[in-house]
Structure 1
Amino acid sequence: MLAKLRLLSAVVLTLTIHPLTNALVIDRDAAPIAFPVVKRVNMTGTTKLVEVDQARARALRERAQGKWDHHHPPPPVHVTNQVVTYVAQVEVDKQPFALIVDTGSSNTWVGAGLQQYNDTGKTSEGCVSVSYGSGYIFGAVYNGTVTLGRRLAIQKQTFGSAYFAIGFNDVDGILGIGPTDLTEGTIDPAPPSGLTPTVTDNAYTQRLIRHKEVCMFYAPAKSQSDPNGELTFGGSNPDKCTGSLNYVPITTVSPASSFVGIDLKKITFNGDVLSSAVTSGIVDTGTTLIYLPTDTFSAYQNATNATLDDNTGLLKITKEQYDELPPLNFHIGETTYGLTPNGQIWPRALNTLIGGEADAIYLVVGDSGAVSGSGLDFIIGYTFLERFYHCYDSQNNQAGFATTPYTHATTN
């Protein structure tokens, strides 16, 4: 087996899957299955967080546009620093792994870290290869049982075991929960349908969950290790929402339509329309910040009078500017989701972990590198999801959002 090259130290948001207090009877009529989430920060290095996110964004666009194949992907960006991920404690054939929960990809695989998959007695069914912009994996393909918690045991799940993984550190692989179509071309020989069912697909087919849906709740973290959220399979958890859960169709605009893509009617700030035309983009748990199209980002920077900080790559404002900061409003469907002033800034308690000054104020809005109308104009990352509940309903091809108790929190 080839040695792993692990270039990326991570800011890790750990999704720990614990057994629930009450026994669960998992069938098609069962309630959605929820698992608690813990945020753990572990970071070293100097590469800017923005550079990691932007490398991922480029890879997502090129992948959806068919500009590279999985056997000859572009080389990953050389990064030695932070990325924000959600990591689930998952068992594969009763072997424990810490896997990134990713809505921007759909393959499940293990073996990026020190924990290797023991394939004794197993026969490989082919090879898997996937590029993530800031990382790449090549490995063998197996079928086995993937277990989330003690009772959500998904049988005959196709997964990869890495021979070679680059761009990952402190994690063992990825739990891909994005659209099934993202698996096309990742496995050789290809399955008869050309696609590989995700863990959500198989959990639904095996009648373990009621709906083919995954919902996410996160809360702003105050420290490096906060129990700050929940991932729910099979439906939503109304207890985590303070308002109605509003759904919009997955966009038909390419390349955003290949992912958990949505349309924005407009973006407004301080009464001004920063983006008046309908734009298309994606919701991605593998991205940290919120990225607007270049023209909209420039308008936002001008409106805030923020300066670009060389050390972090983030926009920086003064306390006086922060005191006057209005909400940044995302108009999705018929609902407006207002990101409060506090929701627009990086948690100050974590400033030094991204190379910033302890008492500085950094904005979590960045430049996507795309112009409005390009088809994948914006990316909504985890900093937005800490303020709004989010569901990906692959059964009905829609995405949902709702306010939470943390929508107006001032914890940052």
Structure 2
Amino acid sequence: MFPAASLLTTLLLALSIAASPVEVRNSPITLPIARKLNVPNGTINLLQRDKARVAAIKGRSFDTLNRRAASDSVPMTVDDTVWAYVAQVGVGSPATTYNLIIDTESSNIWVGAVKPYVQTSTSINTGQEVGVGYGSGAFAGTIYKDTVTLGKGLTITNQSIGVASNTSAFGFGDADGILGLGPISLTMGTLNNSPVGGVPTVTDNLHSQGTISQDVVGISFKPITSLTGTSGELTFGGTDATKYTGSIAYTPLTTTPPALYYWGINQSIAYGTTTILSTTSGIIDSRTALIYIATDAFDKYQSATGATLDAATGLLSVTSDQYSALKNLDFTYDNNTFSLTPNGQIWPRSLNTYLGGSSSAIYLVIHDLGSTSGSGIDFLTGYTFLERFYSVYDATNGRVGFATTKYTNATTN
């Protein structure tokens, strides 16, 4: 017979294994996404648009009496995003295809920005008004319930979807709206006269309808090197092991407000061997271009790199010698470190002129969040980080994960 202590140890180990979150690898449910860049006048208002989005994220109210993200009178406009990834999504039966921007910082799905919503036999007008703010713009409209199709035959029935009441173009080419992939908490208050009600997200309904076994989305991006030609992938219900190397390192969602309402985590940031931001809370956002850190951390980063603010672009600029001396920027949580290489810290030089900058300059993608650490959101990790790593957003287990990819250490900029 086994000693009692051994039996207890075995039982506890078994319970621990049973309680551990299960990662679904190689999910067959994928949706390709294509990058779109908005360069209407030949230049990108990168910092202006990013700053508006950051301000909206930091300033959003989450109290139960004032969660509405867009006023009743706001017309349907969306901030002129510098770039975004767009997926083709079908709505209705037969489906009308809409090009929707992928967004991890919002959770509503809506259409009608360019291509009008087409009602079919599956359309149900709930009469409920909806509005969402995004920074320099917002959309307002009506909630319908309809069939939504993702990729090849991945169908969601009775999905709540916003239909814009104003279908004027919102300055982003052929994008027709947004596919929000954030937590359901970000839909709270988006329904008029319903301050505490939420709207089930696309991934929530995929899970509740049994199409996917876990409420999880994996996202694969690629580094930007040109205005066109880069693609990515969404994986629903699990991850795509062909898109990353090694294993995924997960960390629990933060409990610190207001980051807890987003895909928020706790982590520290170090430049070389110097910690510039002690463990604190922040968020992951696929539609913000740059990487924003608290002012005190930004000042340390600027001092350590020797960078100066460029008047033309508003970005930090370094000389060739300073670039050669750049050290890794390390993002660490739960003893897992993801290093942004020197090349990963600079803006793609092939796109310098689109910023209104010099083609020979070297601009950094790290910028000032505009508030000191301790605010509840002390970093905002944007696309220029996510293009170097595979990211996973796991609502079932309340966690976010990252893994390295073949682009993590690539020299693309």
TM-score normalised to the size of structure 2? Answer: 0.86
Aligned AA for 2:369? S
Structure 1 position 267, deviation (Å): 1.4
**Residues 169 and 228 of structure 1: CA distance in aligned 2, closer, same or farther (over 3 Å):** closer
**Residues 253 and 219 of structure 1: CA distance in aligned 2, closer, same or farther (over 3 Å):** same
**Residues 31 and 55 of structure 1: CA distance in aligned 2, closer, same or farther (over 3 Å):** same
Q: Which runs of 5+ in 2 are unaligned?
A: 1-23
- Counterpart check, 1:176 vs 2:180: yes
Match of 1:72 in 2: 71
Match of 1:35 in 2: 31
Match of 1:158 in 2: 160
**Residues 307 and 106 of structure 1: CA distance in aligned 2, closer, same or farther (over 3 Å):** same
Residue in structure 1 matching 2:40, options 44, 50, 69: 44
Match of 1:188 in 2: 192
Contact 1:123 1:142 in 2 (8 A): yes
**Residues 320 and 71 of structure 1: CA distance in aligned 2, closer, same or farther (over 3 Å):** closer
Residue in structure 1 matching 2:224, options 206, 214, 221: 221
Match of 2:364 in 1: 363
Match of 2:136 in 1: 134
Larger radius of gyration: 2
The range that moved more, 225-234 or 317-326, is: 225-234
Contact 1:63 1:69 in 2 (8 A): no
Match of 1:58 in 2: 55
TM-score normalised to the size of structure 1? Answer: 0.86
Aligned AA for 1:180? I
- Counterpart check, 1:256 vs 2:259: yes
Q: Which runs of 5+ in 1 are unaligned?
A: 1-27
1:259-303 CA distance string (max 9 Å, x none): 000001x2111221212x321100011211100001101110111
Match of 1:102 in 2: 103
Return the alpha-carbon distance in structure 1 between the equivalents of residues 111 and 74 of structure 2: 21
Aligned AA for 1:251? T
Aligned AA for 1:41? L
**Residues 254 and 365 of structure 1: CA distance in aligned 2, closer, same or farther (over 3 Å):** same
Aligned AA for 1:411? T
Aligned AA for 2:117? Y
Q: Secondary structure at the match of 1:384?
A: helix
Percent of aligned pairs with the same amino acid: 47
Structure 1 position 143, deviation (Å): 0.4
Contact 1:219 1:406 in 2 (8 A): yes
Return the alpha-carbon distance in structure 1 between the equivalents of residues 406 and 44 of structure 2: 33
The range that moved more, 136-145 or 80-89, is: 80-89
Return the alpha-carbon distance in structure 2 between the equivalents of residues 397 and 365 of structure 1: 28
Return the alpha-carbon distance in structure 2 between the equivalents of residues 217 and 29 of structure 1: 14
Contact 2:30 2:236 in 1 (8 A): yes
Aligned AA for 2:55? R
1:171-203 CA distance string (max 9 Å, x none): 111101100011111113549x82211000001
Return the alpha-carbon distance in structure 2 between the equivalents of residues 203 and 120 of structure 1: 21
Aligned AA for 1:147? T
The range that moved more, 61-70 or 308-317, is: 61-70
Match of 1:25 in 2: none
1:227-253 CA distance string (max 9 Å, x none): 332211110112211121010000000
Match of 1:238 in 2: 241
Match of 2:309 in 1: 308
Structure 1 position 119, deviation (Å): 3.2
Structure 1 position 81, deviation (Å): 5.7
**Residues 312 and 224 of structure 1: CA distance in aligned 2, closer, same or farther (over 3 Å):** same
Contact 1:29 1:210 in 2 (8 A): no
Q: Secondary structure at the match of 2:54?
A: helix
**Residues 154 and 300 of structure 1: CA distance in aligned 2, closer, same or farther (over 3 Å):** same
Return the alpha-carbon distance in structure 1 between the equivalents of residues 214 and 124 of structure 2: 32
RMSD across aligned C-alpha pairs, in angstroms? 2.5
Q: Secondary structure at the match of 1:188?
A: coil
Aligned AA for 1:379? L
Aligned AA for 1:336? T
Return the alpha-carbon distance in structure 1 between the equivalents of residues 353 and 261 of structure 2: 36
Contact 2:392 2:401 in 1 (8 A): yes
Return the alpha-carbon distance in structure 2 between the equivalents of residues 37 and 292 of structure 1: 28
- Counterpart check, 1:92 vs 2:95: no
Contact 2:80 2:172 in 1 (8 A): no
Structure 1 position 224, deviation (Å): 1.9
Contact 1:47 1:81 in 2 (8 A): no
